[in-house]
Structure 1
């Protein structure tokens, strides 16, 4: 069994989302679908109710930091009570285009973490050009989870792991010039790694220019196995167990 712990396979992102989920099921693959706004959260919930291999993660993305209302928070609070929800995500911080709204991003992130604590759910965290702030905020909360598409240093990864977080590795590890992610993988334990695709984004090197799908996770697995001198089945089995434990998947 393979578990893609982070993808956006729903109709507002991909026209053939349901076909892709069915294909994943045929290949003994489970997917954690990550919502980012009210529309995608609703889609994710419906898909998780319809397909046994689809699991829901719901949250509000950093791009909504200046627009989220109390009503939106209340709506998400109610949705998180569903038995199909396995995490709060995708949430986090992103200063790639500047940090002019840093305070509002952090405020929204804190609200998401408060909901995770309330519902006793792990979190799926996005962090780009904001690694230290992400770490500092997470330290203030009693949460565990994953660092999606981890972009920090190997040293910082160890600090997140000490907080109870696993490191999400996806397509970028296959990129020829991405030495940073390869170094991180080599310096942490396979028991601290999750595999993901971020479909339809971040396709592996072999599929650059194409829409990404969960099927491409095999390229990620292959590269991790190569970097760690492991068999592919060892990466599959260990990362699946990691995901089952973190997200309490009864599969």
Structure 2
């Protein structure tokens, strides 16, 4: 059994899988949340091989389906009354713009709303760890693409929304969520962070069409490996809190260090608004 328990979404490939392996090697028990059963089982085997001494569990959920997320949160809480780390890693660049039944752009729903539901659904287990050790953490994968995000587009069914702008909005929401989560959980022993992994060489965006897809394909050989890209998530999940810095709770990190953000929509007011706006999906 491991020293701590970490839950990771989108752990079947790329950054999520690299993060899970790295934490297994640091003696974390892992809970992998994946959408596809076959890929999830392959990832489970791969992570277990990274450290046969830890426990590696698999749960299935579709983050674009609110009820699926609610059910998996209940199942994980039942199996794990204490969770030390939650890494909201899953996300994707949409091939084309789609909307879920709730009228929200699908990648935004999966990346932000789904993770909001999951985080709140696991809150009792996170708070239990926070109460026991004073150290539970929630890490949300953002990106430097947050710079192009705009809160004015959130939750709106826009006919002219491009896949790239949708992705930028997703990443801004992830950053704002971490910022507000730190406030919402103040005094519970839970800290929250958002992280930029850098430009990572995975199959992320591999089905993106047009100029953006071509640019990604050309740049992919020069990108970081998933192992390199996972380093900031691993740092935030495993480093002593003193190394992260108490003043950086709710902050945005890249290359394992806090970074200043540059987007006029990153304000306390916008973060609080996003939290309240998303609560209706719980």
TM-score, with length taken from structure 2: 0.35
TM-score, with length taken from structure 1: 0.38
